[in-house]
Amino acid sequence: MEIGSPNAIFVRSDFYNTFLKSFRAAFFSLCVFAVTVNAQEKPVPYGDNPAAGHFYAIRGIKIYCEIYGSGKPLLMIHGNGGSIKSFQHNIPYFAARYQVIVADSRAQGKSKDNGEALTFEMMADDEAALLDALHIQSAYVIGWSDGGINALLLAMRHPERVIKLATTGANLWPDASAFAPGLWEKEKKRYDAEKDKHRETEKEKNDWKLFLLDWNEPHIALSDLQAVHCPSLIICGDHDGISIEHTAQIFRNIPQAALWVVPNSGHATLIEHTDEFNKSVDDFFSKPFQPRKKGPAGNGN
């Protein structure tokens, strides 16, 4: 066939039309794929997620809570001034294995509390009441900082509610012996400088109430820890705000406990070493308890 003949032109035009249709189809598919991938990669707004969040009437206030995943219940409790978002690096891992229940503690996040009194016992009882509202008999528990104190008190005051617990960066009393050198002295300077300050806004009052919570509390005796009957993983960083010796005292006074001092870590063990933290805590929860077992999930004596 000659290139310049009418038939040759017809063949080339038909080929072009076919190619154009295929190109358009492929381009459309690529666009759909790109939109889908982008939607999948959009970060979950932990702490402000209408798809997972709900308010529960708990002990005279409304507690905001989000639930993710399915399986055995796992309750997460954040630290002072924190919120659900504190666990944004941990929720995805555990939600693939557990039903993760994470709430804003009273006077923090979306959970409001205008009362003047605030205690750790009050918040521990809130967590038990939240489990009641969710019709959950017992759960695994992870607590960080103030949330670690709440986790210990929850196990002490409501032992039937806690299957196993992991607490990181918790303390038992509010004096210099519980903290890393210099930290308590720094907080005392703030207390002395601000104790007589007039506070007008609700935020100022609430922030001071949260500061006073850690300044005045908790008051847990070592002997009180005998009431913690569940297997407990006691964690701190090797340069945590809570001293290693204080953390070791907690470990030594709980009947079934393992100790993990995380190397090269400050107070935020679950953020600074996310993957190792998630895996080690999951191992502790999912495997039979081994007293004094050496390793990342329990390097006891």
256-298 pLDDT, tens per residue?
Answer: 999 999 999 999 999 999 999 999 999 999 999 987 654 444 4
Query: For the segment 52-66, what is each residue's pLDDT rounded down to a tens digit?
Result: 999 999 999 999 999
- The pair of three-digit structure tokens given for residue 161, joined into one six-digit string: 């509610």
State the amino acid at position 52 in one-letter form: A
The per-residue pLDDT for 300 is 44
Bigger pLDDT: 17 vs 227: 227
Are the C-beta atoms of residues 131 and 75 closer than 8 Å to each other?
yes
> What integer best gives the mean pLDDT of the chain?
87
Full residue range of the structural domain in which residue 276 is found: 53-286
Is the predicted pLDDT of residue 161 greater than 90, yes or no? yes
Domain identity same for 140 and 16: no
**With bands split at pLDDT 50, 70 and 90, how would you rate the model's confidence at 86?**
very high
Domain identity same for 24 and 91: no
The per-residue pLDDT for 82 is 96
Is the predicted pLDDT of residue 235 greater than 80, yes or no? yes
Residue carrying the six token digits 């707004």: 45
Is the predicted pLDDT of residue 38 greater than 50, yes or no? no
> Is 63 domain-assigned?
yes
Domain identity same for 262 and 226: yes
Domain identity same for 272 and 159: yes
Domain identity same for 167 and 28: no
Bigger pLDDT: 242 vs 32: 242
Domain identity same for 252 and 190: yes
How many Cβ atoms sit within 10 Å of the Cβ of residue 194? 11
Domain identity same for 218 and 169: yes
Domain identity same for 66 and 12: no
The per-residue pLDDT for 37 is 40
- The string of DSSP codes covering 71-129 is SEEEEEE--TT--GGGGTTTHHHHHTTEEEEEEPPTTBTTB----S---HHHHHHHHHH
CATH code (residue 111): 3.40.50.1820
- The pair of three-digit structure tokens given for residue 19, joined into one six-digit string: 């190619």
Domain identity same for 266 and 138: yes
The per-residue pLDDT for 7 is 42
Are the C-beta atoms of residues 48 and 76 closer than 8 Å to each other?
no
How many Cβ atoms sit within 10 Å of the Cβ of residue 19? 10
Are the C-beta atoms of residues 256 and 291 closer than 8 Å to each other?
yes
Domain identity same for 96 and 191: yes
Domain identity same for 128 and 228: yes
Number of domains in the chain: 2
Q: What percent of the chain has pLDDT over 90?
A: 80
Domain identity same for 121 and 148: yes
CA distances from 174 to 211, 218, 266 (A): 12, 6, 19
pTM: 0.83
> Is 210 domain-assigned?
yes
The per-residue pLDDT for 116 is 83
Q: Which of 225, 255, 250, 223 is nearest to 236 (CA)?
A: 250
Helix residue spans in 178-300 (DSSP H): 183-194, 202-216, 244-252, 269-272, 274-286
User: Can you tell me whether residue 47 is helix, strand or coil?
Assistant: coil
